[in-house]
Amino acid sequence: MTKKKSFLDIVSENRFIHILLSILLGFLVGAVFLSVMGLSVGAAYGRLITSVTTRKGFSYVIVYSVPYIVAGLSVAFSFKTGVFNIGAEGQFVVGSMAAACVGILAGNLPKPILIPLCFIAAMAAGAIWGIIVGFLKTRWGINEVLSMIMFNWIAFYLSNFIAGIPAIHSDGTAEATKNISPNASMLFSKDFIKSAGLCPTANWGILVAIAMTVLVWFVIEKTTLGYELKAVGSNKFAAEYGGINVNRSILTALAISGALAGLAGALQLMGMGNRISVFSSQEGFGFAGIVVALIGCSNPFGVLIAGIFYGALMFGGSKLNLVGAPTQLINVIVGTVVFFIAISVIFENLKNLKPRANRNTEAAANKKTAEQKEGSKS
């Protein structure tokens, strides 16, 4: 075998190396762009690194990463259970708006009641958004990807509509909702932030994100629910044959995924947003969740790390204009990373060069099966 081919083998077989390589390539392509524009690669990447490695900078990174982690968990959960939740965007938006409504209208409730109430409202809203799509799929067989994309837009305009209702709309001139009650805010106290040298929006959302990471991992790996959902996601025929209610599982998976995306929306609002603007375009937290899930290999702990990485890129990227580099550079890097991760499919196809048949009858691509099958004999 040639050297190049064995390298291909390694990359396509080891997911972790593949992802590191994709990230590296992303930065490499970013460097090419910088050079073409006549900017210093060292200055730009140096700035990126220095801006996220200070104590204050890193606290920003963590604050930024919270909604990405939880949205990433939402998408990763859907991947594991065989539905592709491209609707995390819409679920994020309705979740965030539900939390805002509770945070504004019930603002007099004490913190220990109001905050959980906001979470519950957000998760319920996200779950309902997911269930509607699931219902359309299981009842009438409507493709969930299409309906999710449409539901993203319904969420978008619904959010803008609610933001315009007098009881919710800002009293000032801003095209946004009122600020949520201080009792719904998750910010650390001003004194603590000052003494610890953190960013002004430092909050304890990251603890929720970590708790959710562990919870999602536990549900997927350790519970009968996770078993059921994974069985349906991986072979719904066998699952049905084994007595699992397939439609109910799909609905459950979408509800949980939607609830996570909704929670991500609440965390963003209650941690840093404080209010919801009237959107002119989709904010893309849910879509970022797809990227984070991909980089994190749909593994909850991978998603946690990927979410922080993504947060670092977003925060660090916003500082790039200080050295004259365009902030859009980050989008180039992220786009390239996703491209190279997605290309793993191409790697596999390059190796097999066979029409991909139904996975149940064909047991993945032939070569792999043959190797594993023969390799498993003794």
Whether 286 and 260 have beta carbons less than 8 Å apart is answered as no
Size, binding site for another protein by CB under 8 A:
45
| 85 three-state secondary structure | coil
- 35 vs 223, beta carbon nearer another protein: 223
Shortest distance in whole angstroms from residue 252 CB to another protein: 13
In 3D, which of 148, 129, 155, 139 has the Cα closest to residue 85?
A: 148
Does residue 238 touch another protein according to CB under 8 A?
Answer: yes
Q: Specify the residue, 32 or 371, whose C-beta has the smaller distance to another protein.
A: 371
Nearer to another protein, 282 or 352 (CB): 352
Candidates 196, 185, 192; CA nearest to 272 is: 185
Considering only CA atoms, which of 171, 184, 182, 163 is closest in space to residue 277? Answer: 163
Q: Is 235 left (phi over 0), alpha (psi -120 to 50) or beta?
A: beta
Residue 178-217 contact track with another protein, rule CB under 8 A, x = bound = ----------------------------------------
Min. distance of Cβ 240 from another protein in angstroms?
6
> Which DSSP category does 278 fall into?
P
> Does 373 sit near another protein (CB under 8 A)?
yes
Closest CB 186 distance from another protein, rounded Å: 30
- Alpha-carbon distance of 148 to 151, in angstroms, equals 5
User: Which member of 153, 161, 237, 339 binds another protein (CB under 8 A)?
Assistant: 237
Burial class of residue 203, CB neighbours in 10 A (0-12, 13-18, 19+): buried
The 3 state secondary structure assigned to 156-173 is HHHHHHHHHCCCCECCCC
Listed ranges 121-129, 169-177, 229-237, 251-259: which one lies at the site for another protein (CB under 8 A) = 229-237
Among 170, 234, 318, 327, binds another protein (CB under 8 A): 234
First to last CA, the chain: 26
Rounded to an integer, what distance in angstroms lies between the CA atom of residue 126 and that of residue 129?
5
Q: How far is the CB of 212 from another protein (least distance, A)?
A: 18
How far apart, in whole angstroms, are the C-alpha atoms of residue 310 and residue 240?
Answer: 38
327 contributes a contact to another protein by CB under 8 A: no
Of 339-368, binders to another protein (CB under 8 A) are 353-364, 366-367
E strand or H helix at 18? helix 15-36
The stretch near another protein (CB under 8 A) out of 46-54, 63-71, 84-92, 227-235 is 227-235
Residue of the chain from 35, 53, 245, 321 that contacts another protein (CB under 8 A): 245
In angstroms, rounded to a whole number, what is the distance separating the alpha carbons of residues 57 and 77? 30
CB 369, min distance to another protein, A: 7
Q: Which of 230, 267, 316, 317 binds another protein (CB under 8 A)?
A: 230
**Where along the sequence are the contacts to another protein (CB under 8 A)?**
1, 222-228, 230-231, 234-235, 237-245, 353-364, 366-367, 369-378
